[in-house]
């Protein structure tokens, strides 16, 4: 294996990590907001959230990236708007697609965890004088988050691996540098084996981090 390729591949590692972290944080914030909307059954908004979940869980991530990156350019109104400087950037479009995709799946996880919380917990909050919104935000949602953490850990890894699709819209992340290196050397087996090993290493580190978080969450809940 030609290790001389490694420095070139690692040039895109920072972009991959940055894209993964920002997408996860944005998706997490959106998922929490969407979960609150669904749990409180906010009129109109809950239907919009359900539509978003349907669209982003029912279509491939690659199509979502293409539509968000190439779609706005078809409308002059958008090209002339203040949003165009963002929507014309591949990094922002990839981040937005990953965040919305992650938010859709995470919302389903969090809502399922909330539905699994015993009714007695809600009743205890009501007995303490809390409103439904106060009970949800202060008690139920944190409790449900600990339940959903193992499944959400899988979502974190999926977002990291899904970030490799950003190279299809010219973003020079880890996969982008791998594709360019492959066209320069035609050493496909070596280039993509090394790229796969880097992704495997990142997955291993994330798995250990997630298990540590699960252990801390379990200890905190005791």
Q: What is the mean pLDDT of the chain?
A: 90
Residues 6+ apart with CB under 8 A from 17: 202
Q: Among the residues of 41-135, which ranges form H helices?
A: 45-58, 61-70, 76-79, 84-87, 90-115, 119-127, 132-135
**Look-up: residue for tokens 């972009």?**
15
pLDDT of residue 138: 82
Q: Per-residue pLDDT tens for 14-24?
A: 999 999 999 99
Q: Is the pLDDT of residue 94 over 90?
A: yes
**Residues for the chain: how many in total?**
222
- In tens, the pLDDT along 105-151 reads 999 999 998 888 888 777 788 888 888 888 888 888 887 888 888 88
Round to the nearest angstrom and report the end-to-end CA distance of the chain. 49
Q: How confident is the model at residue 222 (pLDDT cuts 50, 70, 90)?
A: low
Six-digit token pair at 68? Answer: 């968000």
Residue 204 tokens, joined:
């291993």
Q: Residue 211 — very low, low, confident or very high, per pLDDT cuts 50/70/90?
A: confident
At 63, list the tokens. 């199509």
* CA dist 211 → 143, 151, 154, 155, 216 (Å): 18, 11, 11, 14, 9
Residue 38's pLDDT is what?
93
| Predicted TM-score of the model (pTM) | 0.91
Tell me the pLDDT tens digit for each residue of 158-201. Answer: 999 999 999 999 999 999 999 999 999 999 999 999 999 999 99
């Amino acid at each position: 294996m030609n290790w001389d390729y490694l420095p070139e591949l690692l040039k895109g590692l920072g972009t991959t990590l940055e894209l993964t972290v920002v997408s996860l944080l944005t998706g997490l914030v959106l998922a929490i907001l969407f979960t609150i909307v669904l749990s409180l059954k906010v009129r109109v908004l809950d239907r919009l959230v359900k539509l978003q979940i349907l669209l982003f869980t029912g279509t491939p991530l690659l199509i979502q990236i293409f539509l968000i990156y190439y779609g706005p350019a078809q409308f002059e109104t958008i090209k002339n708007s203040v949003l165009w400087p963002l929507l014309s950037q591949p990094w922002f479009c990839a981040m937005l697609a990953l965040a919305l995709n992650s938010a859709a799946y995470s919302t389903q996880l969090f809502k399922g965890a909330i539905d699994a919380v015993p009714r007695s917990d809600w009743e205890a909050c009501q007995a303490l004088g809390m409103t439904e919104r106060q009970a949800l935000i202060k008690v139920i949602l944190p409790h449900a988050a600990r339940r959903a953490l193992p499944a959400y850990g899988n979502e974190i890894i999926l977002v990291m691996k899904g970030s490799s699709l950003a190279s299809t819209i010219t973003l020079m992340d880890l996969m982008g540098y791998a594709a360019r290196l492959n066209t320069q050397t035609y050493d496909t087996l070596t280039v993509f084996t090394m790229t796969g090993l880097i992704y495997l290493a990142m997955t291993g580190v994330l798995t250990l981090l997630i298990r540590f978080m699960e252990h801390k969450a379990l200890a905190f809940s005791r």
